[in-house]
Amino acid sequence: MNHYIHDSVQLGDNVKIGHFSVIEEGVVIGDNVVIGNNVTIHAGTVVGNNVSIADNSVIGRWPKPAKTSTVKVDAELPPLRLGDGCNIGANVVLYRGSTFGDEVMIGDLASVREKCEIGRNVVIGRGVAVENQVKIGEYTKIQTNAYITAYTTLEDHVFIAPTVTTTNDNFMGRTKERFKFVKGPYVKRGARVGGGSILLPGVTVAEESFIAAGALVHRDTEPAKLYIGVPAKPLRDVPDREKLENQE
């Protein structure tokens, strides 16, 4: 045997486990799960049916922040849960205390921190970093190398293009006062954020807003408006044909 499975692990039917993988105590794995080589699944993790986890991924790890970090680890973090049909890429790191709905796809080299809530049919692209206490709604797509800061909310059917940056601290770590104001962006249903855009702390991107590539959003937007520039300013209305309600 060239992998380790704790005696308490509950394995479903037709589970395939690659070389040198480790599955710790109390893990529950559903039916028809494929686990690649050198995967670690930490204690208590719950994996649904028809899940695929590619090589070198770490699932359900405990957070361990730096001594200077303002993040406090909750000793009562519940185990990580993966819904049915999730597809986890290679070299992915998912932290304990987060939940993932059915049919979530996570690309290679992505990471999702603790206390995140990920809805069903979400796509998190290659190299995306999702920090702690983020909420992501159903059918939202986050593309390659985007950065989703802590305390951000993305509602359903949001589109985040490559290398988008979200921020949550106007003081950039210099004062104690900042703790009262730390807040990520709130991106509402159907909004689209173009490549390389920056969303400043606490801004609300309204329903069906369209943020052009490279824009800097420093104030709340209006629904169904196209915004461009630095700082972002409204240019025109989003055409009706592009709205969610008119998609097949």
pLDDT tens, 117-128?
999 999 999 999
3 lies in the same domain as 114: yes
116 lies in the same domain as 148: no
204 lies in the same domain as 96: no
The residue range of the domain holding 112 is 1-64+77-120
Query: What pTM did the predictor assign?
Result: 0.95
- Residue 159: which CATH number? 2.160.10.10
Note the pLDDT tens digit of each residue in 171-223.
887 777 777 778 999 999 999 999 999 999 999 999 999 999 999 999 999 99
> 212: exposed, middle or buried (C-beta count within 10 Å: 0-12, 13-18, 19+)?
middle
Between the CA of residue 114 and those of 151, 208, 234, what are the distances in Å? 11, 29, 36
Cβ contact 116:133 at 8 Å: yes
Residue 127 lies in a domain: no
Q: pLDDT at residue 1 above 70? A: no
Residue 84 lies in a domain: yes
Distance from the first to the final alpha carbon of the chain: 50
Q: pLDDT at residue 70 above 70? A: no
Average pLDDT over residues 38-47: 98
Q: pLDDT at residue 104 above 90? A: yes
Residue 72 lies in a domain: no
151 lies in the same domain as 98: no
According to DSSP, the residues that pair with 4 across neighbouring strands are 22
Predicted local distance difference test score (pLDDT) of residue 172: 80
147 lies in the same domain as 210: yes
Q: What's the chain's average pLDDT?
A: 95
When divided into structural domains, the chain yields a total of 2
Task: Compute the half-sphere exposure of residue 217: CA atoms within 13 Å on the CB side of its CA.
Answer: 35
Using 50, 70 and 90 to split pLDDT, how confident is the model at 89? very high
